[in-house]
Amino acid sequence: KAVELLEIFPFSCRKADDEWSNHLLRELLIPFGSSGYVALFEIENEQTVTIISVRHQREEDYH
């Protein structure tokens, strides 16, 4: 369900902390259990969002 949010409101997700300061690179928080997952995605255009990776929030290098 959380990923469906990207279809309508991709800019509502937090900006990813990246070294290039790309405002089109975002993170979607996906609640699951006591923590959850983070989906890193890029807004390509008005109709296309590309999910780059999905990681558990408790992973050390999830950014």
Nearest to 40 by CA among 51, 32, 24: 51
Note if the pTM is more than 0.85: no
How many helices (DSSP H) and strands (DSSP E) are in the chain?
Answer: 1, 4
* Residue ranges per structural domain of the chain: 2-56
The secondary structure of 37-58, three-state, reads EEEEEEECCCCCEEEEEEEECC
Asked if residue 58 lies in contact with residue 38, where contact means CB atoms within 8 angstroms, the answer is: no
Q: List pLDDT tens digits, range 19-29.
A: 666 789 999 99
Q: List pLDDT tens digits, range 25-43.
A: 999 999 998 889 999 999 9
CB atoms within 10 A of CB 17: 9
